A and B are shown apart, each in its own frame.
Chain A
Amino acid sequence: MSSIKQIPVVEAKRTNPLARVFDDLVRFCRSRSLFILHYCTGCGAIELPPAMTSRFDMERLGIQPMVSPRQADILLITGYVSIKTLKRVILTYEQMGSPKYVIGICSCTVNGGMYWQSYATAKKLDEYMPVDLYIAGCMPRPEAVIEGLQQLMDRIHAGEANSWEDYYRNYDYYLGNQQKLFGEDWQTPTDVISEAKHYDLLSNGTLGDHTRLLEQHQKPLEALEMRLGHEQKEPAK
């Protein structure tokens, strides 16, 4: 357990000028090899095959589809998210390794779009997870998708695409919205608070009323045996 904690986080060490050069190199390389996990949550998924294949060819930018969330960098939400899908989207997001980026494609992820009055869809994606970039349109053309990805690449290189840190810093807010939608007993197998401690991202917004509620309702699950920080919590009981 403790051996995991000692893995240095590159961005945290900014005192050494050499480390700064190294950081820049890391960010450059990161922005040039992105794996997309596209979760076909809605209509927008239909414009991704043209963007990925021969005609518009995303691969020339170093962007490729990836099937497993564990190895993916970008979570592409392609369109409206129904409440049933949103649960899976959050689970997928929490499974991805940091740094991770979220792109919301189509108007539906921005404000509900065409389905603003629907009873079955979640209207604003950024209430439930931090979003790096929105690509508006119903649906955006492949050129727009590629333009958006290029902007994300620039922002990763500049070190501005840090929304994944926001999830740890304001976990209480996101969890509160999730609980409002899914009910109070909502929980995921990922221990976000321990991960926040691991990344040194614990802040005022991480813990709050909603995380306390989560701890009350949290059931001991076998899948949670492997979570970070589990052994440290044991003696407290």
Chain B
Amino acid sequence: MRPENYEAQRQPPSNEFELNFGPNHPGIEGNYALKVKLHGDVVLEAQADGGYLHRGFEKLMEQRLWIQNIALVPRICVPDPSPMELCYSMAVEQLCGLHVPQRANWIRVMQLELSRIAAHLFTFGGHAATTGMYSTMYWGVADRDLVLDLFEEFTGGRVYSIYNIPGGVRRELPSGFLQRVSETLDYIESRLPDYDNLFFKNQVFVKRAKDVGVMTQEQALAWGVTGPNLRATGLAFDVRRDDPYLIYDQLEFEIPTEESGDAWARTLVRRHELMESIRIVRQVVEALPDIHGPIRAPIPNPLAWNVPAGETYTRVESSKGELCYYVVSDGGPKPYRVHVRGPSSMHAVQVLEKLSVGSRIEDIAQTMFSLDACPPEVDR
């Protein structure tokens, strides 16, 4: 697979091997690779090898108008694109001092949480497939499609919605949409006991995932781990509660945590988060009919929009962890500098390298999927 190093390596007479794990490998998430040193089946050393998905987003964004970047940012993280749009829009709003109407904020929360549900269902599927349980993958992907149908109805796009713009959201909800959201949520909730029996309580999964890729809370904090992976080590930190944005401070939800910090705990935290997300969307569905008003603040001509000079840093909680944007404007029609702090670049590079050591080779895929790393966001 690798043109640079296919000179056959003369192996010392021992059990030590060096293998290239990926990029085109069924056990790896996306287009990503690891160089693994093995002793028998046990991993001695793992080295992340990214860059297969590098597109130079931060440079591309400097070459496009403020409004054009809205179409670009969701591509950074494919399974969970909505927080990307929102975080960028929030940064532009802060630079311009735009006041977003209340109704737009509620719609945004609904979009974010639906996106989280879809992303978590997809992750369960991927994680189950690495332990050989393909039924869960088939179920997870099919149930995620129901959420994508909702996205298609109210944003126009199945995967990339491009629905948030600086100042609000692009379209009003279709009539009868909230009813369909509740029906889909009811269906997904009714499926969760089946998922429990098939996957989360299944001994095949529990025995494979327990004590795999264990990290302590100190390690997690030192390595910059965020999101469900951090909460799986026992620390209840969530940007939605601890640094609330939009209208999260008006909603009731809990921060689920687990103590053990292994692959099993990380997946279980996501499963509980799915319930909390359903709870949040239900509250939005209940409250939204009583919130009237515009869905978008008036913005200047987007094709000749000079955002005032300044710099800002925004952060949101995506399904993978803490997502931040650092945006600098020099008062021109294009951003001067945009930096994306994605959660996966920590999880997939330094954390995966360290957690793989000492585990067996068949557990690398599971460790990666339980960390829910998103390779396009690592490379950007």
Q: How far is the CA of A121 from the CA of B63 in the complex (A)?
A: 16
The reply to whether B145 and A55 form a contact with Cβ atoms under 8 Å apart is: yes
The reply to whether A121 and B158 form a contact with Cβ atoms under 8 Å apart is: no
Is A87 an interface position by the 8 A CB rule?
A: yes
Is B59 an interface position by the 8 A CB rule?
A: yes
| Shortest distance from the beta carbon of B52 to any chain A beta carbon, whole Å | 5
Q: A53-B142, A221-B6 are in contact. Are A117 and B63 (CB under 8 A)?
A: yes
Within 8 A of B (CB), among A17-38: 37
User: Chain B interface (Cβ within 8 Å of chain A)?
Assistant: 1-3, 6-8, 23-26, 30-31, 51-56, 59-60, 63, 71-72, 75, 78-79, 122, 125, 137-139, 141-142, 144-145, 148, 158-160, 376, 379
Residue of B nearest to A45 (CB): B30
Subset of 19 A-B contacts with CB under 8 Å: A40-B31, A41-B52, A46-B159, A47-B158, A50-B145, A82-B54, A82-B55, A84-B51, A85-B23, A88-B1, A92-B1, A114-B72, A114-B75, A118-B55, A118-B59, A119-B56, A119-B59, A187-B3, A223-B7
| Shortest distance from the beta carbon of A66 to any chain B beta carbon, whole Å | 9
Is A222 an interface position by the 8 A CB rule?
A: yes
Q: A43-B159, A117-B63, A118-B56 are in contact. List 11 more A-B contacts (CB 8 A).
A: A40-B31, A41-B31, A46-B79, A49-B125, A53-B138, A82-B379, A85-B23, A88-B2, A88-B24, A91-B1, A222-B7
Per DSSP, chain B at the interface is loop
Q: How many residues of A contact B (CB 8 A)?
A: 41
The reply to whether B56 and A120 form a contact with Cβ atoms under 8 Å apart is: yes
Partner of B60, one of A50, A67, A118, A187: A118
Q: How far is the CA of A33 from the CA of B51 in the complex (A)?
A: 34
| Shortest distance from the beta carbon of B318 to any chain A beta carbon, whole Å | 16
The reply to whether B31 and A42 form a contact with Cβ atoms under 8 Å apart is: yes
Chain A residues with CB under 8 Å of B52's CB are 41, 82, 84-85, 88
Is A139 an interface position by the 8 A CB rule?
A: yes
Q: A88-B2, A114-B75, A139-B159 are in contact. Are A82 and B137 (CB under 8 A)?
A: no
